Amino acid sequence: MFDLIALIKAAGYLGLFGIIFAESGLFFGFFLPGDSLLFTAGFLASKGFLNVYILIGLTFIAAVLGDNTGYWFGKKTGPKIFTRDDSLLFHKDHVTKAEHFFQKYGPKTIIFARFVPIVRTFAPILAGVGKMHYHTFFFYNLVGGFLWTAGLSLLGYFLGQLVPSIDKYLLPIIALIIVISVLPNIYQILKMKSKNKKVA
């Protein structure tokens, strides 16, 4: 928790912009802590370290631009993504998880994926690979980007203002956010294992 706070204070607005941009559309950004970062940044804004309006505006732009970068990367590289060998920064199962979300939710995946680590990084890339109509993608990208950045930042901001001494509870709150965000991934993994057992 304190490392995250120190990271935000050291990185500032530019660093936050870069992290959210990378996690939103660059395939090596899947390991970045977007959810907890936005919440903690919102909390720091409530304490005067950041301006909440600048925070939301910059991270929203970063999220939208990141997704757009991922979309066009997927559109240009196409099937090559599915034939890449696993490496330190790329694993085919990440693409598979995002694929399952698309099969279940369609274009709305671009919104839902914002709140699921790993999936949010690969969803825009797969939208490009699948040649989703750009205007459709862009609409859902705007909605999802705003709900994600504004929602988590404001949650941290208002809790920071409303709850006395909330800094004492930051660690369990951030841990809870992380757990909630990875639950869909765990569910998908268990579901796939169940299907594989039935096939076997």
Residue 183's pLDDT is 62
Give me the pLDDT at residue 24, please: 84
Token couple for 59: 């991270």
What is the number of other CB atoms lying within 10 angstroms of the CB of residue 8? Answer: 23
Predicted confidence at residue 134, as pLDDT, reads 92
How far, CA to CA in Å, does 149 sit from each of 53, 59, 128, 191, 195? 11, 6, 22, 29, 35
pLDDT of residue 56: 97
CA distance 66 to 17: 10
Pair 118, 99: CB distance under 8 Å: no
CA distances in angstroms from 99 to 3, 59, 60, 65, 149, listed in the order given: 33, 26, 24, 21, 23
The pLDDT, as a whole number, for residue 1 is: 46
**Structure pTM?**
0.78
Mean pLDDT per block of 10 residues along the chain (200 residues) reads: 76 92 74 81 91 96 94 81 61 67 80 83 84 90 95 91 70 68 57 55
Q: How far is CA 45 from CA 61, 152, 153, in A?
A: 18, 12, 9
Q: Which residues contact 47 (CB under 8 A, 6 or more apart)?
A: 160
Per-domain residue ranges of the chain: 2-199
pLDDT for the residue 113: 84
